[in-house]
Structure 1
Amino acid sequence: MTRYIGLMSGTSMDGIDAVLVEFNGRRPTLVASHSHEYDPHLLEQLHRLCSTGNDEINRLGQIDRQVGKAFAEATNALMTKAGISADSVRAIGSHGQTIRHMPDGPHGFSLQIGDPNTLAVDTGIDVVADFRRKDVALGGQGAPLVPAFHQAMFGGNQPRVIANIGGIANITWLPGNADQVLGYDTGPGNTLMDAWVRQHNQQAFDQDGQLAAAGTIKTELLKRLLSHPYFSQPAPKSTGRELFNQAWLNYQLEPFMNARAEDVQATLLAFTVETLAAEIAQLSQDANVYLCGGGAFNGHLVKQLSRALPHHRIDSTDALGVPPQWVEGMAFAWLAHCHLHGIPGNLPAVTGASRTAILGTLTPAG
């Protein structure tokens, strides 16, 4: 039995998910979990860093260290909660915090911060981080990386779709036979809804979709949102706040300046639902769908997705033995395990990389 810790903070920046897992063979078992909020000042700086601005290199260097320390705080809090010491953990798998994801073109890149050296020093545990850039170097998108974990954790004889609704939504198609596993980003998950409710209600997110449920979908606005060329691009593909952000949303809203806040929120939720449902229906007419990520806790979103996919059973990954909040954290603990055992962590059919590869870079604590 070997212990690993997985750390994840997604596009929504709604906190750091920290999980402790045990491996018996290649499959991890969740032992303990902890959710760690960013300091409000650091969170504000992170949101600013996701857009171009002045003095970026200095801010990047300082915030990289600060995020590393925040990840270390999350790790140490998790170990205290679990009653374990650092010397009982083989390694930390840290996704870091994405601040740019621009993988296309001859010099595409994906950049995550959260200095692994600071994390290793402040926890006393070896760190495996920087998982995306090897895949990008091989011509891939560097994302999504979770489908390989979904295959290892949730694959079986029955066809399944795993839908991760974080800031960006992605899906994994597990065909249940020898056919190829597929996966890609479908578009915005919670990121635009979070941005809108933060702007108008000063809340981090729309609790259970209450604001959206109180509104009416603006059909013309929804059509405008759905016209984005990303949705007609073939997979492999991935996206992020570089395409779907507050500035883009404000531009789309210009003809609808008098729309009520709840109507815009209802339309943004419908935007997420329609783009996700369209891709799921294209993959399968009736496979069970298992949700994870923050969107799995949005009751109104889940209800609307069920309506959009009447022939699919919609459930959460709880039904498969993994709580939906902790799936991605577990995935990066698994990727650290794969790195140290020489196991490839990417799926070229998903990311578009030219071959499989061992992902991540090891930073020893000593």
Structure 2
Amino acid sequence: MISGTSHDGVDVAVVDFEVRDGVLHGTVGYTGTVGYPPELRQRLVRALPPAPLTFAEACALDTLIGQAFAGVAADAIERGGPVDLICSHGQTVYHWTEGQRVLGTLQIGQPAWIAERTGVPVVADVRIRDIVAGGQGAPIVALMDSMLLAGLPGHPAALNLGGIANMTVVRAAGVRAAGVPAAGDGPIAYDTGPANALIDAAVVRFSGGRRSYDVDGELAAAGTVHSGLLEQLLAEPYYALPAPKTTGKELFNADYVDKALALFPGIGDADAVATFTALTAQTVADEVRRYGVDTLAVSGGGSDNPTLMAMLASRLSGVRLTTTAEFGAPTATKEAIAFALVGWQTAHGLAGNAPSATGAAGGRILGSIVPGTGPLRLPEPVAVAPTALRLIGERHE
């Protein structure tokens, strides 16, 4: 289970994993997305950076989100059948960075509520071990991306368009920037910049809070990209940093939108949203070209925005643009499947990070485990980690 950087609810997936002939096969029995109660989402959004936050409110949100996750888990088990283990990513509320160095990360949603409600052991707090080992703590989904696309020829990559855009280049065409790994050194993965974060913030601003996102990209489609604003946005220093790197709403938030628009008074609502949408398309396309990607599999909420996808396609002539659904991972819940995989890796004594992607000193078994009702019993460790993943089946509700 995971709630992403759009902070709108919980994505969940029930997956049955089995190793056969060195390949990990995952049968996706059930997936779903459950929105936060409106009052909880509003309370969470009000607490996010750059807002000040008390320990009392942090404690309350940790509890309330934990209870929300517990409810989603119990419902998924009722619909998808009994499970042996739950992996809960929780809700990221802060990623502490200084330049390219990550010092800490905070995901809330107390996992004890999940274990108590379901009686099932819970793997949680999965990012911090990678950070302690010198990594960025993200993108953790690079492990699944590289396994899922391992059989493709050429130079494939996976792109997730949530609040923030992250990309995993499975095999790069070569070194295209100083300081990045060469082709053959493992997957390269990092946050390219904002995906929906600034688009959503602009829509909230212009609608007075009545709308939280650009439905079907209609507002952006009605506008014209403002060249001056786009040029200003592209000057953001983050884009020039080499990989591995991570970012979040600590940087790309409503204040960022306000400051950018203050430089261009009078810009129309639709034109502004069109420009923030073009920023996402341009920054992603720049990175796709940097690594010579020839197949791009897209997931996340942004993949349902036809205006964003059209802008991306227009900038990526010659690149095959598809979605992760082609490989058995539904676009809306692909990251939930990825964290089910992380839980499976942890339970079987296998690293859940990709060091070439996060910058960690090596592979690490991720997370802390909260026992369920009875004694904690883990399966026998797997001696050789599978390097490919095949997903089949899916029932969505």
Calculate the TM-score normalised by the size of structure 2.
0.86
CA deviations on 1:81-133 (whole Å, 9 max, x unpaired) are 33x2xxx3111111110100114477811100000111111222110010110
The partner residue of 1:317 within 320, 324, 327 is 324
2 CA distance for matches of 1:43 and 1:262? Answer: 26
Does 2:146 match 1:155? no
Query: For 1:227 and 1:53, how far apart are their aligned partners in 2?
Result: 25
SS in 2 for 1:48: helix
Residue matched to 2:314: 307
Instruction: Specify the alignment match of 2:287 in structure 1.
Output: 279
Gapped runs of 5+ residues in structure 2? 173-182, 374-397
In angstroms, what is the RMSD of aligned CA positions? 1.6
Report the Cα offset of residue 232 of structure 1.
Answer: 0.4
Determine which of 63, 75, 83 is the counterpart of 1:77: 75
Q: Once structures 1 and 2 are overlaid, which stretch shifts more, 126-135 or 195-204?
A: 195-204
Number of matched residues? 355
Determine the C-alpha separation between the residues in 2 that align with 1:208 and 1:314: 19
Tell me, in whole angstroms, the C-alpha distance in 2 between the residues paired with 1:112 and 1:97: 5
Range 46-55 or range 296-305, more displaced? 46-55
- Partner residue in 2 for 1:351: 358
- Confirm or deny that 1:118 pairs with 2:125: no
Residue aligning to 1:96: 90
Amino acid at match of 2:308: L
SS of residue paired to 2:158: strand
4+ long deviations beyond 4 Å: 52-55, 176-179
- The answer to whether the Cα contact below 8 Å between 1:17 and 1:35 also exists between their aligned partners in 2 is yes
Q: Verify the 8 A CA contact 1:34 1:74 in the aligned structure 2.
A: no
Per the TM alignment, residue 318 of structure 1 is displaced from its structure 2 partner at its CA by 1.5
Q: Does 1:255 align with 2:263?
A: yes
Task: Could you tell me which runs of 5 or more consecutive residues in structure 1 were left unpaired when the two chains were aligned.
Answer: 1-6
Change in Cα spacing, 1:53 to 1:194, as seen in structure 2 (3 Å) is closer
Contact 2:6 2:197 in 1 (8 A): yes
String of CA shifts for 1:52-87, please: whole Å, max 9, x gaps.
5555111001110100011111112222333x2xxx
Secondary structure of the 2:309 match is: helix
Residue by residue over 1:25-44, the C-alpha shift from the partner in whole angstroms, topping out at 9 and shown as x without a partner, is 23322111111110111111
Residue in 1 that maps onto 2:296: 289
Q: Secondary structure at the match of 1:356?
A: coil
Please, which of 129, 135, 138 is the counterpart of residue 133 of structure 2?
138
How far is the alpha carbon of 1:223 from its aligned partner? 0.7
Going from structure 1 to structure 2, the CA distance change for 1:338 and 1:263 (only over 3 Å counts) comes to: same
Tell me which of the two structures has the higher relative contact order, counting C-alpha pairs closer than 8 angstroms and 6 or more residues apart. Answer: 2
Matched residue of 1:185: which SS?
Answer: strand
* 2:9/2:35 contact within 8 Å kept: yes
**Shift of residue 198, structure 1, vs aligned partner:** 2.1
2:250 to 239, 242, 250: 242
Shift of 1:240: 0.1
TM-score (norm 1): 0.93
Structure 2 residue 218 is the aligned partner of structure 1 residue 210: yes
Q: Is the 8 A contact 1:34 1:77 kept in 2?
A: no
Q: Deviations over 1:208-241 (max 9, x none)?
A: 1110000000110001111110000011100000
Match of 1:165 among 141, 161, 168: 161
Identity of aligned residues (%): 37
Pair 1:178–1:53, CA change in 2 (3 A): closer
Cα distance, 1:255 vs structure 2:
2.0
Distance 2:36 2:7 in 1: 8
How far off its partner does 1:242 sit? 0.7
**Aligned position for 1:8:** 2
Question: In structure 2, what is the equivalent of residue 68 of structure 1?
Answer: 66
Deviates further, 122-131 or 178-187: 178-187
Cα deviation, residue 252, structure 1:
1.1
Task: Give the distance between the partners of 2:103 and 2:295, measured in 1 at CA.
Answer: 35
Shift in CA distance, 81/199, structure 1 to aligned 2, threshold 3 Å: farther
Q: Distance in 1 between matches of 2:244 and 2:273?
A: 29
Instruction: Tell me the residue number matched to 1:4.
Output: none
Question: What SS does the corresponding residue of 1:208 show, helix, strand or coil?
Answer: helix
Report the more deviating stretch, 242-251 or 147-156: 147-156
SS in 1 for 2:333: helix
Offset of residue 15 of structure 1: 1.5
Question: 2:382: which partner in 1?
Answer: none
Q: 1:72 to 1:227 in 2, by over 3 A?
A: same
Encode CA deviations 1:270-301: one digit per residue, 9 max, x unaligned. 0000000000011115x111101111111111
Which deviations, in whole Å up to 9, do the C-alpha atoms of 1:238-267 show, x marking residues without a partner?
A: 000011111111111112221111000000
* Cα separation, 1, equivalents of 2:102 and 2:227: 38
For the structure 1 residues 186 and 69, does the alpha-carbon distance in structure 2 shift closer, same or farther, using more than 3 Å as the test?
Answer: same
Whether contact under 8 Å (1:167, 1:189) holds in the other structure is yes
**Equivalent position of 1:22 in the other structure:** 16
CA deviation after TM superposition for structure 1 residue 150, in Å: 0.9
For residue 347 of structure 1, report the CA deviation from its aligned partner.
1.3
